[in-house]
Amino acid sequence: MNTHRLSFPQVELDFMNRDHQEFAELREKLLERIATGTTAGIDVMLDELHAHTMRHFADEEKVMLETDFPVFAVHKGEHDSVLTDMAQRIAHWKQHGDIESLCHWLDHAVGDWLVAHIGSMDTVTARFAAAKLGS
């Protein structure tokens, strides 16, 4: 079942491509679990997605700082707002158990955001950093 599979471009740094693929797979696994009609394991999977996203963003931000990426603040600002939203969505789910709202958020907002972010900020960041690092 690949109805939730995302299509996104590859960027010029391998570690970012690996993180994007892992993120997409965690989201897909969550949507597949939700589609089975069970809520078992969803809390753990959401915590895993949140922890992965924090680490994934921190790694990108480290490279941006190391290479003096000129619009670091803009890229980091988007990361910060995504993490805030993610934490609120997970907390809301844990408190209210609203599976429809969780599913809709993962399916639409998270998927759309990831594809748009990779195609814009991550592409530009990776191109800049790869040129500066000589990779």
Instruction: Using the minimum distance from each CB to Fe ion, give the nearer residue, 34 or 111.
Output: 111
Tokens representing 48? 């895993």
Instruction: Using the minimum distance from each CB to Fe ion, give the nearer residue, 38 or 81.
Output: 81
Instruction: Using the minimum distance from each CB to Fe ion, give the nearer residue, 9 or 97.
Output: 9
Instruction: Using the minimum distance from each CB to Fe ion, give the nearer residue, 12 or 60.
Output: 60
Q: Does 19 bind Fe ion (CB under 5 A)?
A: no
CA separation, residue 66 to residues 10, 11, 129, 130, 133 (Å):
21, 18, 9, 12, 9
User: Which residues lie below 8 Å from residue 77, measured CB to CB, with a gap of 6+?
Assistant: none
Q: Does 122 bind Fe ion (CB under 5 A)?
A: yes
Q: How far is the CB of 51 from Fe ion (least distance, A)?
A: 16
- Report the b/e string of 109-122 with b at 16+ CB within 10 A: ebbeebbebbeebb
Interacting span for Fe ion (CB under 5 A) from 6-14, 22-30, 33-41, 114-122: 114-122
Q: Does 12 bind Fe ion (CB under 5 A)?
A: no
Cβ-based neighbour number of residue 55 at 10 Å:
12
The site for Fe ion (CB under 5 A) is made up of 60, 122
